A and B are shown apart, each in its own frame.
Chain A
Amino acid sequence: MASRAPGRWGKWLVSGPPLLYLLIFFAVPTLIMALASFRTPGEFGGLAPLIDDTGALDLNVESYARFVAEPVYAQVFLKSVWYALLTTLACLALAYPLAALIARSPKKYRNLLLLLVILPFWSNFLIRIYAWMIILGPQAALVRSVNGILGAFGMAPVSLLFSSFAVLACLVYVHLPFMVLPLYANLEKHDQALLDAAQDLGASAWQRFWRITFPLSLPGVYAGAALVFIPALGMFAIPDILGGPEDSLIGNVIKQQFLEARDWPFGSVLSIVLTVAALLLAGLAAWVGRGNLGTPSSAGESRA
């Protein structure tokens, strides 16, 4: 060991503060929530005392039993997974051509184009969602022209606002940059010589994409899918503002449990189920990504 190498203390000095931050503001609250999921709701909201009147420790699985017994929650849960999945697929379909376009633009324009992709982040998240109310609202040109066309064919007018369409459209809009950026980072590194070689060896444009570009971009696809799917799964603001009563997602239910029903243990249960589900899905994606299902894998890249 070289004496000038940072010692044990130097290492902790550098990585200690962020670790401490995560411990206090992430790990401890998660544990508190996990504990709360086994406690009894308080009479006026919040939590009942951990030690009850008889002096016994009041921990139970009643809230978990409720999640199993009332299928409505599992249904909302499945609907959330479905919406997050649709959002991820729509983002992928829109982001892939965009990322490829940016990656193949002349170098001097790439940073400008990337800046345009992340430009929406410069205005407030809620304000952008409210902007969608105006875009989809009854006075907007979009709805009026859609209804004009529908009317011409003798069909009843529709309302775009407060619908699944509005929720999904905004979910896609909000998450699109999270798909574009990792895809771009991946596609930008691709070696043109590989595509030349494939073409030289007889591959058509479609075959070059499907057999070379796409498999090599899978690490970017998985990263983008995780960055879109997981936040989309827990989203509550968009369904709250743009959705109808049928569009409540698991995020909305969790929020209701904590703020309106004031049933903290049950809210904690839903949160934990959500976290575990997201972890399982991310793990599954990583497992598939390593080529364990015989899919066109990124084995070469991940091992290199």
Chain B
Amino acid sequence: MALLEIQNVTRRFGDFTAVGGVSLAIEAGEFFTLLGPSGCGKTTLLRMIAGFDLPDAGRILLDGVDLADRPPEERPVRTVFQSYALFPHMTVEGNVAFPLKMAKTPPGQIAAKVAEALEDVRLTGFGKRYPHELSGGQKQRVAIARALVTHPTVLLLDEPLAALDAKLREDMQLELINLQKEVGITFVYVTHDQTEALALSHRIAVMNAGRVEQLDEPSRIYGFPRTRFVADFIGHCNLLAGPITANDQGIVTVDVAGLGPVRVAANTTLAPGRPGTVALRPEKARIEASAPAGTPDNHYRGTVSDLLYMGDVTVYIVDTPGGQKIEALLANSASGRAKFFEVGDPVEVSWPVAAGHFVEE
């Protein structure tokens, strides 16, 4: 049995369905992420797990026990809030000791537990400071120490890194991974940042419009998106849609307007005539100045219409004569050059059938 079971949970606000019939089973010790754009229902779901909101239908079970009639203060679940929500009138120690005092921990044990929690988040020596004397990253760690000090069963994190700058965010991601391994507590992490979700999670539930679109490991979410939404939301993706013209021996051919037939390896029973989409990651498309060697499965001519130089890589937008745009990505590191092509250069774009991914929806 899973540690945290969300069974068919629905939450409506007036006519708006924030969460519509979501079911999830989260295992003990798992780093589980709810990923989706704002308004997808991920935060509402988190607030229902914490107890700040109640489902209109469905159940939330922790260790097999229904949490419905337990208020937030009685749930063995702690939340790290996006705004940190540190108590400004208490020192770091006071903040971390707060849940221990609420749990009637014997006063003699409080200091040791606080010190241990601060050590876990590498803030030893900061105990006497007030929150306004800390940097954003330090505040974040105090919030985590405060939530972990009572060893909750589940730790909920609501966009905890959103307020930090990019460099610090990366450091904190590594720390979170290590911390989660160390304490072994189940993390349920909410974010709209797909790279963060891919980097941190054991499993990701991609949410859209109150529903779970796909629940999988990060590599499968990225490599095998089940829906157009997932393909588009996670990373960059060329979505080439059109009617299926052939489905033969595991190779599906889709007729894409402005491009022509696109062949992709797929295991689907969809018959010709039905719509389909080929999802192609920009890094899987080859881009060359002259015709590629051999006869690649998919091969198109075009002109570079735009390029985005990003340091390590450059993204080229290629326009085909028919008006379709294809994004292709090339690493700059190997060549030592800044760019391979300029805007206006004629190029050849190609990829094998295995590079694309077929999406039914």
Interface residues on B, range: 20 to 34
- A204 at the B interface (CB under 8 A): yes
Which of B77, B85, B99, B146 is in CB contact (< 8 Å) with A191? B85
Interface residue? B103 (CB, 8 A): yes
Nearest residue (CB) in B for A215 is B89
A280-304 to B contact mask, C-beta < 8 Å, 1/0: 0000000000000000111111011
B88 touches A (CB below 8 Å): yes
A171 to B65, CA, bound (A): 56
Q: Chain B residues with Cβ under 8 A from A194's Cβ?
A: 85, 87-88
Given known pairs A298-B89, A300-B90, the reply for A202 and B102 (CB within 8 Å) is yes
Contact with B along A253-281 (1 / 0, CB 8 A): 00000000000000000000000000000
Tell me if B102 and A197 are in contact (CB < 8 A).
no
**A203 contacts partner chain B, Cβ-Cβ < 8 Å:** yes
Which residues from B are CB-within-8-Å of A296? 89
When the two chains form their complex, are residues B81 and A196 in contact, meaning their CB atoms are under 8 A apart? yes
Q: Do the beta carbons of A203 and B73 come within 8 Å of each other? A: yes
The DSSP consensus for interface residues of chain A is helix
Q: In the bound complex, do residue A212 and residue B73 qualify as a contact, i.e. CB atoms below 8 Å apart?
A: no
* Beta-carbon contact of A300 and B130 below 8 Å: yes
**In the assembled complex, A201 has its CB within 8 A of some CB on chain B:** yes
Cβ of B72 within 8 Å of any chain A Cβ, yes or no, is yes
Set of chain B residues within 8 Å of A197, measured between Cβ atoms: 79, 81, 85-87
For B132, list chain A residues within 8 Å (CB).
300, 303-304
Q: How far is the CA of A20 from the CA of B280 in the complex (A)?
A: 77
> Is there contact, CB below 8 Å, between B88 and A201?
no
Determine the residue in chain A with the shortest Cβ distance to B71. A199
Instruction: Knowing A299-B130, A303-B130 are in contact, say whether A207-B102 is a contact too (CB < 8 A).
Output: yes
Q: Do the beta carbons of A191 and B87 come within 8 Å of each other?
A: no
Contact with B along A8-28 (1 / 0, CB 8 A): 000000000000000000000
Which B residues are CB-close (under 8 A) to A301?
88-89
* Contact code string B123-150 (vs A, CB < 8 Å = 1, else 0): 0000000111000000000000011001
Q: Contact: B73 with A199, CB < 8 Å?
A: yes
A200 interface hit (Cβ, 8 Å):
yes
Distance of A122 Cα from B69 Cα, bound (Å):
49
Report chain B residues within 8 Å CB of A303: 130, 132
A304 to B89, CA, bound (A): 10
Whether the pair A191, B89 counts as a contact (CB closer than 8 A) is no
- Chain A residue numbers with a CB within 8 Å of B52 are 196, 199-200
Bound complex: CA of A207 vs CA of B98, how far in Å? 11
* B200 interface contact, C-beta 8 A: no
For the complex, give the distance between the alpha carbons of A301 and B130 in Å. 10
Residues of A within 8 A of B74 (CB): 202
With both beta carbons as reference points, the residue of chain B lying nearest to A297 in the complex is identified as B89
Across-interface contacts of B150 in A (CB, < 8 A): 201-202
When chains A and B are docked, how far (Å) is the Cα of A194 from the Cα of B143?
12
Is A127's CB within 8 Å of the partner chain B? no
A200 and B72 contacting across the interface, CB-CB below 8 Å: yes
Residues from chain B with a CB closer than 8 A to the CB of A304 are 88, 132
| Chain B residues within 8 Å of A299, by CB | 89, 130
Task: Let me know if A201 and B81 touch, CB within 8 A.
Answer: no
Q: Given A298-B89, A300-B89, A300-B131, does the pair A201, B146 have CB atoms closer than 8 Å? A: yes
The CA-CA distance from A193 to B143 in the complex, in Å, is 12
CB proximity of A193 to chain B, nearest CB, Å: 4
Tell me the bound Cα distance from A262 to B87 in angstroms: 57
Contact bitstring B87-118, A, C-beta under 8 A = 1, else 0: 11110000000110011000000000000000
Q: Contact residue range for chain A?
A: 20 to 34
Given A207-B102, A211-B98: A193 and B89 interface contact (C-beta under 8 Å): no
Interface assignment of A113: CB less than 8 Å from any CB of chain B: no
Is the C-beta of B83 less than 8 angstroms from some C-beta in chain A? yes
Q: Is B78 an interface residue (CB 8 A)?
A: yes
Q: Which residues of B contact A199 (CB under 8 A)?
A: 52, 71-73
Q: In chain A, what residue has the closest Cβ to B82?
A: A193
Most chain B Cβ neighbours within 10 Å, of A191, A198, A204, A215: A198
| B:36-86 near A, CB below 8 Å | 50-52, 71-74, 77-79, 81, 83, 85-86
**Given A299-B130, A300-B130: A201 in contact with B89 (beta carbons within 8 A):** no
B residues within 8 A CB of A200?
50-52, 72-73, 77-79, 147
For the complex, what is the distance from the CA of A207 to the CA of B78, rounded to whole Å?
Answer: 17
Residue of B nearest to A200 (CB): B79
Most B CB within 10 A of own CB, among A197, A212, A298, A304: A197
Instruction: Assess whether A216 is interfacial by the CB under 8 Å rule.
Output: yes
Interface contact A198-B89, CB-CB below 8 Å: no
A304 to B86, CA, bound (A): 14
Q: Are B81 and A204 in contact (CB under 8 A)?
A: no
Residues of A within 8 A of B147 (CB): 200-201
Determine which of A193, A201, A297, A298 lies in contact with B83 in the assembled complex, contact meaning CB atoms within 8 Å. Answer: A193
B94 to chain A, nearest CB (A): 10
Chain B residues lying within 8 Å of A202, measured Cβ to Cβ, are 73-74, 99, 102-103, 150
Within the complex, what minimum Cβ distance (angstroms) separates A105 from chain B?
20
Output the residue of A215, A300, A303 with the most chain B CB within 10 A. Answer: A300
Residue of A nearest to B79 (CB): A200
A193 partner, pick from B50, B85, B146, beta carbons under 8 A: B85
| Nearest A residue (CB) for B75 | A200
The residue in B50, B78, B89, B103 that gathers the most chain A C-beta atoms within 10 A of its C-beta is B89
Q: A207-B102, A300-B90 are in contact. Are A201 and B78 (CB under 8 A)?
A: yes
Q: Which 7 A-B pairs have the closest CB atoms?
A: A300-B88, A202-B102, A197-B85, A201-B99, A193-B85, A300-B89, A304-B132
Binding site for B on A (CB under 8 A): 191, 193-194, 196-204, 207, 211-212, 215-216, 296-301, 303-304
Pick 6 A–B contacts, CB within 8 A, sort by A: A194-B85, A198-B98, A201-B102, A216-B89, A300-B88, A300-B132
Given contacts A193-B83, A298-B89, 20 further A-B contacts (CB under 8 A): A193-B85, A194-B85, A196-B52, A196-B72, A196-B79, A197-B86, A199-B73, A200-B73, A200-B77, A200-B78, A200-B147, A201-B99, A201-B146, A201-B150, A202-B102, A212-B87, A299-B89, A299-B130, A300-B87, A301-B88
